[in-house]
A = this chain, B = another copy of it.
Amino acid sequence: MAKAYYSTVFQQPAQEVWEIIRDFNNYPVWVGGAGESRIEDDKSGDAVGAVRSVLYRARNIRQRLLALSDVERVQTYEFCGAPSLPVEGFSATLRVTPVIDGDRSFVEWWANFDCEPGLRDELTATLGGWFAQWLESLRGTLDRRVPGETASVNE
């Protein structure tokens, strides 16, 4: 099973990190390079099955929310249509877990997918690198926040 995986530690509590990630329409708030995002069919960003249509580096991508848990702070999504890499059966998951020691959070982002065996190592590294980059972008967003500021893209 091809799996790309990245994880890191944030100084912010798990709940604070989760509040930004959980809204599936919040992508442009914390992913550098992401432009306009909207949820299709008037769904809310916490509705399982919602499709977000995002402009990412001048390219439109569409992704569907497959699972959302406020208990385990987990979000799983897939691509609608072909993803930008030569992979099939792709789904990705973000999870935020409390680090009690220091009231911080442990943040994981991984993807499962199928691909040509010869491309597996390269694709795994590429995806892992993207997850790292986007989580650094999220870290920047969190570090710049004024305490008490709300997270939503809509405000």
Q: Could you tell me which A residues sit within 8 Å of B by CB distance?
A: 1-3, 5-9, 22, 43-44, 46-49, 66-72, 74, 76, 88-89, 91, 97-102, 104, 106, 108, 112-117, 120, 128, 132
Query: Assuming the A-B contacts A67-B72, A112-B1, are A6 and B101 also in contact, with contact meaning beta carbons closer than 8 angstroms in the complex?
Result: yes
Tell which of B69, B112, B116 touches A48, judged by Cβ atoms closer than 8 Å. B69
Query: Assuming the A-B contacts A67-B68, A88-B117, are A100 and B5 also in contact, with contact meaning beta carbons closer than 8 angstroms in the complex?
Result: yes
The number of times this chain is found in the oligomer is 4
A49 touches B71 (CB 8 A): no
A66 touches B76 (CB 8 A): no
Q: Which residues of B contact A47 (CB under 8 A)?
A: 43-44, 46-48
B112 touches A114 (CB 8 A): no
Residue of B nearest to A22 (CB): B48
B8 touches A99 (CB 8 A): yes
Query: Assuming the A-B contacts A1-B89, A1-B114, are A7 and B101 also in contact, with contact meaning beta carbons closer than 8 angstroms in the complex?
Result: yes
